[in-house]
Structure 1
């Protein structure tokens, strides 16, 4: 994922390691970034890796965690979250499943509009009177089309990054990482596994390796290696769940995002 890594370095590492460059160019560092793509493509893992590489404090929140049935409590939770992030800056606030927290406004049913109020508080924290100094908001979603457009405007989630299904190079790296921990027989052809997992997500490739090991143990609990036939059986069991229609949706959204950027 060389392209994804490059964009993340620009959004996270550059402002921390080269703040004078931003001052010299008369621009401010990005406030936040959104990663979107098919399920199982390591968006959450990437966010944790960003924090580790950059030596930042990392605060992780799943979207629905902030909702509370009591009036005002959800907004207070958002304010407290950003207050905590400022107190331990430089830091990253990571919102997983941001679409559950920042859905299009006006979609609440009945008398409850807690979602709208939480989104309003979130927007206030991002570009309110008290600027976010040393705090970066990182969000991940499988449904970028459901997020309120106000959150995606420049100055809030500045960088929108598509995390696609792993290409051939990435799949090969995933297999090498997973299989070096497993006792595999000489007949296991990694290149053929890479070829046969086209269209698989990273999580599904890991599941193939796990399933192959389980097949070997199922055959003989005292086995010392995982054989090629176990991987073939695992490939039949673990099928890719990202349909061509789903991938087309993400790619079209990516192209539309680029068009909006240049308009």
Structure 2
């Protein structure tokens, strides 16, 4: 598999940003069929046109060029673009419309079942020798943890095991790692806001989590409690 990583398109000289963008588009056409992954896509192509800017129109020109490129029917079936973002509302609505972005998959904070699966996947990913037969108790005690939080906790448990000369991570090691771990401070209101945005943006019922309505009710209850 060939992986090509583009440098940042923005340049400091007049016209450089637009030239870099055109080179990237030409490379995508030449490599097709190809998958293009755009991380933090709310920051790509100049962001949202309503956000303003003082770049002499560079962002607007790049945005217009991007809209034209990704709306080209000749790319259909040959170029798959995958965007990831925490703030879908900051992506220009013209880029989010059908024809440019057809499928939108909400990826929410992991629930207990998902956290258990993440523990298992991380252990396999890092090839960690584990004597833990069931991660359910650890998934139960980690509400609000992201995948990266779980990965850090599990790799910390592995370091604890190595320090003791153990051959495998045990329940005691992971318990100690979780006791030691200080989760990143996260604003629940912001998480709720991004969750609702993700659910609202999805256009396929089959891609919504089965408990989507329950999630909405929980968020509404928290909002009501905050304003009471």
What is the number of equivalent residue pairs in this alignment? 199
Q: Which of 97, 106, 112 is the equivalent residue of 2:40? A: 97
Match of 1:125 in 2: 69
Q: How does 1:43-192 map to 2 (within 5 A)?
A: 59-61=4-6, 65-102=8-45, 103-105=47-49, 107-128=51-72, 131-133=74-76, 134-179=78-123, 181-185=127-131, 189-192=134-137
Instruction: Establish whether residue 212 from structure 1 lines up as the match of residue 157 from structure 2.
Output: yes
Q: Which of 191, 197, 200 is the equivalent residue of 1:247? A: 191
8 Å Cα contact 2:106-2:202 kept in structure 1: no
TM-score normalised to structure 2 length: 0.74
The higher-RCO structure (CA 8 Å, 6+ apart) is 1
Q: CA RMSD in A?
A: 2.8
Measure the CA separation in 2 of the matches of 1:240 and 1:195.
Answer: 18
TM-score normalised to structure 1 length: 0.65
Q: CA deviation at 1:111?
A: 4.7
Measure the CA separation in 2 of the matches of 1:216 and 1:204.
Answer: 19
1:136 is paired with a residue whose SS is strand
What is the CA deviation profile of residues 161-213 of structure 1, one whole-angstrom value per residue up to 9, with x for unaligned ones? 21112233332222223335323346x75221121123211121111101111
Gaps of 5+ in 1: 1-51
Richer in strand (by share): 1
8 Å Cα contact 1:58-1:91 kept in structure 2: no
Measure the CA separation in 1 of the matches of 2:178 and 2:190.
Answer: 21
What is the CA deviation profile of residues 62-115 of structure 1, one whole-angstrom value per residue up to 9, with x for unaligned ones? 7xx111122222222222222212222111111111111241125344353322
Q: Which of 170, 190, 193 is the equivalent residue of 1:227? A: 170
